[in-house]
Structure 1
Amino acid sequence: MTRTVARAIVDALKELDVRHVFGVVGDALNPLTDAIRTTDGIEWIGCRHEEAAAFAAGAQAQLSGRLGVCMGTVGPGSVHLLNGLYDAAKSHAPVLAVCGQVPLAELGTDYFQEVDNDQLFRDVAVYRATVTSPQQMPRMLESAVRAAVTQGGVAVLTVPGDLGEQEIEEDRSVRLAPDRPVTRPDDPALAEAARLVNAGSRTTLLVGRGAREAREEVLRLAELLAAPMVLTLKAKEGFEHDNPYQVGQTGLIGNPAASHALDGCDTLVMLGTDFPYRDWYPSGCKVVQIDTRAEHLGRRIPVDAPLAGDVGATLRALLPRLEATTDRSHLDDARSRFDSWTEDQHRLADPRHDRRWTGRLRALVDNRDHDVRPEALALAVDRHAADDAVFTSDTGMATVWLSRFVTLRGTRRLLGSYNLGSMANAMPQALGAQLWDPDRQVIAFCGDGGLSMLLGDLMTIKTYRLPVKLVLFDNRRLGMVKLEQEQAGLPEFGTELDNPDFAAVATALGLTGIRVTDPDALDDAVRQALEAPGPVLLDVLTNPREIAVPAKPTVGQGWGFAIAKVKETLASDRD
């Protein structure tokens, strides 16, 4: 029994338990999409933009740990996939992109819409190839899938439009990609790491997403060493809840307690993290780093004991070699600072804050229009969201408020463009997440700049009746860029957005739209939005002047902000 190239690809995807393929239909993809149409158990999800399709596929890959799949047709359709695929690549998500191409005989002739996909995806893909003969299948597909799964990255397989309907002479099923091997360092490396840790007295752990499967071992390490645990944003998932050692995040979105825990340590143990911001690392301490990717070891900070291996397997071998720390003052100090900071933040997020005399004075300076404070919105969502909700967040201020006020308790999950830092990721990632688990609550923290960039895929959410809840921080600004400009002493420029009534737009598109302008109506509106059936867009007008103070504000940042405000006032007076 022979099969077409398209049928072989789709059969293999079904065998790999791929349930959804995201993309935009087009002529070069017609054999593939027709094969999907006639295959039970795998569904074509027609998006309005291929970038949204790639983000959605990457979201499913990150949530499930299995292969995500998207498709783009010849030329521009494939180009549109690129940004979402970069996000998947930098998140180490296994994603297969199947791209259409001009007819085989026209390759290399600068044919209409011809793009060299192998060159285009050279930087983003761990595997890329163009099928030029039916006899290459399904071996070439096997190679693509195996590379994506074992290396945790993007594979791009290009199929010319006239090749999909050709028959394969060799008829066999695709070989499933193997799981990644679990490795640990050798005994001499473990002994050296143990010697360094045992010689210290104030150890701090910096924990990343790569340690997520080793929660039990990481908590045992923190207890044994009386070590405060600083979390990267992606490590909130899995380590924030029920953890007496964690002290939140560091960096620009972090808090003073985490910064103090790092600066005050004599030994830093990095677990499954490639935290990129070198200015936030401590100096003058010994450093032990555990990571499955050997190329990550020592590239952010000099490392005294680099350990290449799985975090869980490595800690299970390392823990018996470590001595217990009896002095808990380093941990207790960090936790006390963190608890105080958290109480202060929640006080500011209380909707009644601006009615107290201190809040009224503050509002005269930074919230004269009495808009909803974004802190209050984030905390209200945290209060009413399900304990198994999946959160996504747009890059920028929406992520800041989520990081500070949403606790990933229970089995909550978190997705964002936290390595690439793209705009417009939250809504399409929520789309993919909701299809991954239709019965689970999915909440997207959207910025108005990000949402409007891929606004068309609200129609995809409506078409497939996905009950996604879109929480829009509508500050009429590119808020993070505004803050960056002001901290550098520059007046705000180019960041203001002429927004529509997004709730009315959502209603016109067939979603439930709710608009909030009164802080006193916030809590009821959030509860209503999260309890409503079907997709909801909650458009909340938030204060555009809100400032997120970094963990270690500098004098230079303060002066820059003051100078920027003077310049903005002068410009406003001239207007």
Structure 2
Amino acid sequence: MTADNHTDASARKLQWHKAAELDEFDDGQVRSCPAGLKTVALTKLNGAYGAIDNRCPHQGGPLGQGTLENDKIRCPWHGFDFDPFTGEAAGGPDFDVPTYPVQVRGDGVYVGTPPPAPAARTVSDVLAETMTNWGLDTVFGMVGHSNLGLAEAMRRAESAGKLRFFGIRHEGAAAFAAAAYGKLTGRPAACFGIAGPGSTNLLTGLYDAKADRAPVLALSGNVDSAVAGKGAFQDIDLLAAFADVAVYSEMVRAGSEHAELMTLALKHAILERGVAHLVVPDEVQIIEAADQRASGPEGRMPDLRISPPSAPLSAALQRIEASIRPVIIVGAGAKFDMADIVTLAERLRAPVLTTFKAKGQIPDEHPLACGALGRSGTPVASWMMNKADLLIVFGASFSNHTGISPYKPVVQVDSDPLALGRFAPVAVPVLGDVGVTVSALLGRLRTHPALVDQRPEVAERWAVWRSEKSLRAQRNPAGRIAPATVFAELGRLVPADAVLTVDVGNHAYSFGRYFETKDRQSVLMSGYLGSIGFGFPAAMGAWAAAPDRPVVAVTGDGGFGQYLADFTTAVKYDMNITHVLLNNGELGKISQEQRSSEYAVWQTSLRNPDFAAFARDCGGYGRQVSDAAELNAAVSAALDYPGPALVEILVDPSSN
């Protein structure tokens, strides 16, 4: 149809969109062309243009990707034929498709479409509104064919300023980012995938959240309910797949109380510090829900700061008051109560040791700080623990990697009753909120008359260890840099309020031993799952949670190789992340384990790209360093770069 056919009043009410250039179509050609929010099948045939709806009414096949045969458009999926000008279907009027007027103008071919109808409020909108009412404003995910209704609701929420959506390159990165967000803030972010592989790709990052008790909301699109369970494309039982990882996992159905399901999901995630999961079938996402009310947290959440019972509190006080060399050990469960714990330590003049996952919760520059305990820890921490006559443990799970001594009397404080005495009996298990319990201890504490001031001994042990670290930092083979050198330099340069995300591997052990935290630095890691690949996606989550703080990712080449495509995500959203990549050309930790087990070193070597060049190709800053003399300038430039920056450091694989 041509311009002459569309000059009446109804045509003037249409919205006209340029769909093609004048010379873009050959005669006898059909193509899919955007026309505002619609897509049309635009055809040029015998010198005339026609536009019909692009969607075949059979199963939604894209008619513009079909062929012209006998002057009809043939659907590329199932062979249905349609008239390119009238939309009439060979199969009968029940299959006819809408038509749209066309105007050939001086600058192109235009298609007229009716103004979009006001968007109907859907089940997805109810879910998104409830989510943002609860304060969840950050989603990492990938938009796909079975979550488009949910994605549209999130787009509307983002347009209203209530939500931020970060489109990632792999759903595993989305889950790690959401887990890191939860670890840093104690609040949930969401990760988002489609049916089948899009959701199963979330699982590793979600298991990290489960293991480290981080609140996360996982949202899965799903196939239509009508074909679920029939072996349809990407049809798997997502409730079964998520049964072990989630504290709450439910299907959202047409007749569900939709807002209530989202509220229950978020309530479980927050209160149980774990993964909550909702599955929303494709057709349910777009059901109109004009009259449904969104929900929120008002009247739904208890005060979790519970006081300890009086008897165990008194028993704890008796143990502490009888001690002359107490030591305090803190885990990640004490993250938000460190001010009172430090006050208690200063009253007791007691060293403070952290689990590796809690590294940085007390800065190493504090005169009572001893660094991390255990396999990734400092000899300062292990020395002071071995000299102690009482261990006061807050918010730690007694992992075998931490190595809390089973031969010392322990006062353990935790808000989780299952964490108390989990692996072996403790002298005094105290159930209570860590902060409330510490305040109660401070209010009644009397110290032993012979209490030892352990600060001079802590300082002495640090002097010995720093001297050893300095010697190790001088051993840099040609063309390589010792990890001790790297972390000494990072200790000097990383800002005092930075968030550091650490991957899994030899570099993590070196970080635990050599890097000294200061001031308000926070450290995030895949603590109990120990998943390689965590570091860089976690930095994206940390940046989303705290965009005003410097974010530094510390990874190895093995870990970054798993999610390196998401460097482009950081560039796309202009995330100010400094990535320090220690490249030793192998899975160094596994090589060491093979040697220690008297196995041959096998299949641990890596074929790496030039990571610094890769970062530049993605649009970020990239620099490779193999000389210790260049390290300061390279890291300083990366920290100053206003966006994603990567410093690739060639490190010595024989040292850590």
What is the DSSP-based 3-state SS (H/G/I as helix, E as strand, rest coil) of the residue aligned with 1:318? Answer: helix
Give the direction of change, closer, same or farther, for the CA distance of 1:415–1:506 in structure 2 (3 Å limit). Answer: same
More divergent stretch after superposition (72-81 vs 41-50): 41-50
Q: Are 1:233 and 2:351 matched, yes or no?
A: no
8 Å CA contact 1:3–1:171 kept in 2: the answer is: no
Q: Are 1:7 and 2:125 matched, yes or no?
A: yes
8 Å CA contact 1:2–1:170 kept in 2: the answer is: no
Residue in 2 that maps onto 1:502: 611
8 Å CA contact 2:356–2:402 kept in 1: the answer is: no
> 5+ residue gaps in structure 2?
1-118
Residue in 2 that maps onto 1:59: 180
Q: Are 1:27 and 2:145 matched, yes or no?
A: yes
Give the direction of change, closer, same or farther, for the CA distance of 1:280–1:44 in structure 2 (3 Å limit). Answer: closer
What is the DSSP-based 3-state SS (H/G/I as helix, E as strand, rest coil) of the residue aligned with 2:147? Answer: helix
Cα distance, 1:181 vs structure 2 = 1.2
Q: Are 1:484 and 2:574 matched, yes or no?
A: no
More divergent stretch after superposition (154-163 vs 489-498): 489-498
More divergent stretch after superposition (299-308 vs 468-477): 299-308
Give the direction of change, closer, same or farther, for the CA distance of 1:335–1:328 in structure 2 (3 Å limit). Answer: farther
Residue in 2 that maps onto 1:340: 464
Give the one of 298, 307, 330 matched to 1:207. Answer: 330
Give the one of 86, 94, 105 matched to 2:215. Answer: 94
Cα distance, 1:169 vs structure 2 = 6.6
8 Å CA contact 1:135–1:170 kept in 2: the answer is: no
Between structures 1 and 2, the one with greater helix share: 1
What is the DSSP-based 3-state SS (H/G/I as helix, E as strand, rest coil) of the residue aligned with 2:214? Answer: coil
Cα distance, 1:334 vs structure 2 = 4.0
Cα distance, 1:374 vs structure 2 = 1.6
Give the one of 362, 387, 391 matched to 2:500. Answer: 391
What is the DSSP-based 3-state SS (H/G/I as helix, E as strand, rest coil) of the residue aligned with 1:21? Answer: strand
8 Å CA contact 1:56–1:430 kept in 2: the answer is: yes
Residues 345-397 of structure 1: CA deviation (Å, up to 9, x unaligned): 13422xxx24xxxxxxxx6xxx4x44111221222122122221111111122
8 Å CA contact 1:57–1:432 kept in 2: the answer is: yes
Cα distance, 1:105 vs structure 2 = 1.6
8 Å CA contact 1:134–1:166 kept in 2: the answer is: no
CA distance in 1, matches of 2:422, 2:218: 30
8 Å CA contact 2:130–2:295 kept in 1: the answer is: yes
Structure 2 counterparts to residues 536-547 of structure 1, below 5 A: 536-547=645-656
Cα distance, 1:279 vs structure 2 = 8.0
CA distance in 2, matches of 1:278, 1:53: 27
Tell me the amino acid that sits aligned with residue 522 of structure 1.
Answer: L
Tell me the amino acid that sits aligned with residue 512 of structure 2.
Answer: S
Tell me the amino acid that sits aligned with residue 434 of structure 1.
Answer: W
CA distance in 2, matches of 1:436, 1:279: 28
8 Å CA contact 2:350–2:453 kept in 1: the answer is: no
Residues 127-175 of structure 1: CA deviation (Å, up to 9, x unaligned): 0001122442111111111111111111000000110001237522212
More divergent stretch after superposition (134-143 vs 469-478): 134-143
CA distance in 2, matches of 1:82, 1:208: 25
Cα distance, 1:483 vs structure 2 = 2.1
What is the DSSP-based 3-state SS (H/G/I as helix, E as strand, rest coil) of the residue aligned with 1:105? Answer: coil
8 Å CA contact 1:147–1:155 kept in 2: the answer is: yes
Residues 520-550 of structure 1: CA deviation (Å, up to 9, x unaligned): 2111111111112221111111111114xxx
8 Å CA contact 1:395–1:418 kept in 2: the answer is: no
Cα distance, 1:441 vs structure 2 = 1.6
Structure 2 counterparts to residues 151-162 of structure 1, below 5 A: 151-162=272-283
Tell me the amino acid that sits aligned with residue 502 of structure 1.
Answer: F
Tell me the amino acid that sits aligned with residue 210 of structure 2.
Answer: A
Residue in 2 that maps onto 1:411: 520
Residue in 2 that maps onto 1:18: 136
Structure 2 counterparts to residues 516-527 of structure 1, below 5 A: 516-527=625-636
8 Å CA contact 1:212–1:239 kept in 2: the answer is: no
Under a length normalisation based on structure 1, what TM-score does the superposition of the two structures give? Answer: 0.88
Tell me the amino acid that sits aligned with residue 343 of structure 1.
Answer: S
What is the DSSP-based 3-state SS (H/G/I as helix, E as strand, rest coil) of the residue aligned with 1:281? Answer: coil
Give the one of 106, 121, 146 matched to 2:227. Answer: 106
8 Å CA contact 2:229–2:236 kept in 1: the answer is: no
CA distance in 2, matches of 1:110, 1:309: 49
Cα distance, 1:278 vs structure 2 = 7.1
Structure 2 counterparts to residues 234-253 of structure 1, below 5 A: 234-253=357-376
Give the direction of change, closer, same or farther, for the CA distance of 1:450–1:291 in structure 2 (3 Å limit). Answer: same
More divergent stretch after superposition (99-108 vs 419-428): 99-108
Between structures 1 and 2, the one with greater strand share: 2
What is the DSSP-based 3-state SS (H/G/I as helix, E as strand, rest coil) of the residue aligned with 1:138? Answer: helix
Residue in 2 that maps onto 1:359: none
Tell me the amino acid that sits aligned with residue 128 of structure 1.
Answer: S
CA distance in 2, matches of 1:134, 1:339: 67
CA distance in 2, matches of 1:278, 1:378: 22
8 Å CA contact 1:118–1:128 kept in 2: the answer is: yes
Cα distance, 1:331 vs structure 2 = 5.2
Give the direction of change, closer, same or farther, for the CA distance of 1:219–1:44 in structure 2 (3 Å limit). Answer: closer
Q: Are 1:290 and 2:413 matched, yes or no?
A: yes
CA distance in 2, matches of 1:58, 1:233: 17
Higher relative contact order (CA 8 A, sep 6+): 1
Residues 38-65 of structure 1: CA deviation (Å, up to 9, x unaligned): 2222232111100001111122222222
Cα distance, 1:342 vs structure 2 = 2.4
Tell me the amino acid that sits aligned with residue 13 of structure 1.
Answer: M
Structure 2 counterparts to residues 107-506 of structure 1, below 5 A: 107-168=228-289, 171-176=292-297, 178=301, 180-277=303-400, 280-325=403-448, 326-328=450-452, 332-349=456-473, 353-354=474-475, 367=477, 369-506=478-615
What is the DSSP-based 3-state SS (H/G/I as helix, E as strand, rest coil) of the residue aligned with 1:239? Answer: coil
8 Å CA contact 1:275–1:300 kept in 2: the answer is: yes
Residues 543-569 of structure 1: CA deviation (Å, up to 9, x unaligned): 11114xxxxxxxxxxxxxxxxxxxxxx
Tell me the amino acid that sits aligned with residue 68 of structure 1.
Answer: A
Tell me the amino acid that sits aligned with residue 430 of structure 1.
Answer: A
Residues 20-40 of structure 1: CA deviation (Å, up to 9, x unaligned): 211111111101111222222
Under a length normalisation based on structure 2, what TM-score does the superposition of the two structures give? Answer: 0.77
Tell me the amino acid that sits aligned with residue 189 of structure 1.
Answer: P
Cα distance, 1:271 vs structure 2 = 1.0
CA distance in 2, matches of 1:424, 1:238: 23
What is the DSSP-based 3-state SS (H/G/I as helix, E as strand, rest coil) of the residue aligned with 1:37? Answer: helix
Cα distance, 1:343 vs structure 2 = 3.1
Give the direction of change, closer, same or farther, for the CA distance of 1:36–1:283 in structure 2 (3 Å limit). Answer: closer
Give the paired residue count. 532
Give the direction of change, closer, same or farther, for the CA distance of 1:535–1:320 in structure 2 (3 Å limit). Answer: closer
Tell me the amino acid that sits aligned with residue 622 of structure 2.
Answer: G
Cα distance, 1:179 vs structure 2 = 5.7
Give the direction of change, closer, same or farther, for the CA distance of 1:372–1:284 in structure 2 (3 Å limit). Answer: closer
Residue in 1 that maps onto 2:100: none
Residues 79-128 of structure 1: CA deviation (Å, up to 9, x unaligned): 00001111112222211111011111222222221111111111111100
CA distance in 2, matches of 1:541, 1:469: 17
CA distance in 1, matches of 2:164, 2:445: 51
What is the DSSP-based 3-state SS (H/G/I as helix, E as strand, rest coil) of the residue aligned with 2:369? Answer: coil
What is the DSSP-based 3-state SS (H/G/I as helix, E as strand, rest coil) of the residue aligned with 1:106? Answer: coil
More divergent stretch after superposition (407-416 vs 516-525): 407-416
CA distance in 1, matches of 2:467, 2:415: 37
CA distance in 2, matches of 1:212, 1:451: 27
Tell me the amino acid that sits aligned with residue 125 of structure 1.
Answer: A
> 5+ residue gaps in structure 1?
355-362, 548-575
Tell me the amino acid that sits aligned with residue 431 of structure 2.
Answer: A
What is the DSSP-based 3-state SS (H/G/I as helix, E as strand, rest coil) of the residue aligned with 2:284? Answer: coil
